[in-house]
Structure 1
């Protein structure tokens, strides 16, 4: 697949990229990024909706507005089902087609990272055993991605840096482990700084942006642990975690 493609809708882009993925071939960098963007577009809006509706629900609970709460919870349940469907869809594509056909370390890291991300999205709203299972699946995928990244990609590679960014967010948000989140983010940042001379010109912008986000999160998380400020995850705010970097 080459050239610039135009899609009438986000769902059309998803379906087109699913067809490409089902060919059981290792995707090109462009195809891989199109797949990532396609699913990011459909999942991103619903994750944002879920966060907003959950915030509204909490406020209405404090007011004791029972009728409003019934409608709010019905809508939240609808959004959660859509999130489950999207995550289940891409996770099936990854497990059935993309991961088994990945030929390079770069593509393996990309797909395992993506698998970790979508299990993490499930863990964001799941409860009880469902949350535990999603978190465990996410952890396994991120660790698999990390194992390959450590041997096959340089510390300055944007995909390796993006993995460290997302994996550290997982530790902070899902496992509530700020210490491990900070250790992982700091190690990734320090390793990249030590090898800045290996940074290629084509990936300079992507890599340095993610390094800045790692440093920003470190600053915010450290401050939060010291009780100095509220945390705002910049990876989420800037939506860099699923950025189409090559």
Structure 2
């Protein structure tokens, strides 16, 4: 009797990843896509790239939500003055445990980008997509708290880490995220048309970085408005298959511009600087 071939093909790994997505088993999605990466010499299709991005977004998103919940409880208990010291220690330990899990998840993706995906990517949309996720970062395990990362996606995950880092590590992480976003935006600006969803996505996340991490709604608004205006002016050239995605991101940019503009209203003397991205 001949042995049964148990080796899973690339197509089967993708099918399992899609099944895991439907079941919301995000760690399994990532595991299967890592197998796809090994089969494909680190060249992923757009569908596979999007699936990888969605999986890591869910994993880190859950951890970020958990961190905010525990941190809120920690502050509330500390302010009330009724919590026992041992209770506060337990809450702090749980928060720090979540921080380490978040750092590990972000570092896992950044390593995947640095070692395989970015080096194999072609110039243009593929590289911009990964740059949205990355920039070389030192091991996050070297820090007591997570530090931020770089690339559009590198930039995204360094930004996530910057949200939770303490002062010194936060500043270093924010600088790494800034460099990643700058590189990603510059590459997108030079290789993709203004209406392209990936280019718009870079602009959206870069502007969120300026607002949330840098605390600069004026820079965030300036960058978002520049991307919005250029895309609207070129929308007549948008292919039908990307029109809906582009329009969705334009709506998000518009909503952020309105929100951030309202934040700046009380300060009528504020000038509009040029964003530090070129």
TM-score of the aligned structures, taking structure 2 as reference length: 0.77
Partners of 1:218 and 1:155 in 2: CA distance: 17
Out of 21, 38, 57, the residue aligned to residue 55 of structure 2 is: 38
Which whole-Å deviations, capped at 9, do the CAs of 1:134-162 have from their partners, x for residues lacking one?
A: 11111111111111111111111111111
Q: Show the counterpart of 2:27.
A: 11
Give how far 1:28 is off.
Answer: 0.9
Supply the RMSD in Å over aligned alpha carbons: 1.7
Contact 1:53/1:76 (<8 A) preserved: yes
Q: CA deviation at 1:47?
A: 0.9
Q: Which whole-Å CA distance do the structure 2 matches of 1:60 and 1:66 have between them?
A: 6
Residue in 1 that maps onto 2:224: 185
Q: Which residue of 2 aligns with 1:235?
A: none
User: 8 Å contact 1:21–1:93 — kept in the other structure?
Assistant: no
CA deviations on 1:150-197 (whole Å, 9 max, x unpaired) are: 111111111111111100010111111111111100101001111110
SS, match of residue 35 in structure 1: helix
Q: Which has the higher contact order (CA 8 A, sep 6+)?
A: 1
Secondary structure in 2 aligned to 1:6? helix
Matched, 1:155 2:205: no
Distance 1:83 1:26, change over 3 A: same
Please state how far the C-alpha of 1:222 moved relative to its aligned partner: 1.3
1: CA distance, partners of 2:36 / 2:181:
24
- Of 34, 41, 44, which residue of structure 2 is paired with 1:27? 44
Q: SS of 2:259's equivalent?
A: helix
Local SS of the residue matching 2:19: coil
**1:61: Cα distance to partner?**
2.3
Q: CA deviation at 1:227?
A: 4.6
Distance 1:24 1:141 in 2: 24
2:131 match: 112
Q: Which range moved further: 4-13 or 137-146?
A: 4-13
Matched residue of 2:79: which SS?
A: helix
Asked if structure 1 preserves the Cα contact closer than 8 Å seen for 2:217 and 2:263, the reply is no
CA separation in 2, counterparts of 1:144 and 1:19? 29
Residue 195 of structure 1 corresponds to 234
The residue that corresponds to 1:133 in the other structure is: 172
Q: Does 1:85 align with 2:85?
A: no
Pick one of 60, 66, 74 that aligns with 1:57.
Answer: 74
Deviations 1:86-124 (A, max 9, x none): 001000000110111001310111001011101111101
Measured in 2, the distance between the counterparts of 1:126 and 1:20 equals 33
Q: Distance in 1 between matches of 2:75 and 2:230?
A: 41
Displacement of 1:55 in angstroms is 2.0
- 1: CA distance, partners of 2:72 / 2:247: 33
User: 86-95 or 173-182: which moved more?
Assistant: 173-182
Distance 1:57 1:72 in 2: 6
Alpha-carbon shift at residue 11 of structure 1 (Å): 1.1
Larger radius of gyration: 2
Structure 1 residue 226: deviation in Å?
Answer: 2.2
Candidates 91, 97, 100, aligned match of 2:116: 97
TM-score by length of 1: 0.87
Runs (5+) with no aligned partner, structure 1: 229-246
- Residue of structure 1 in register with 2:276 after alignment: none
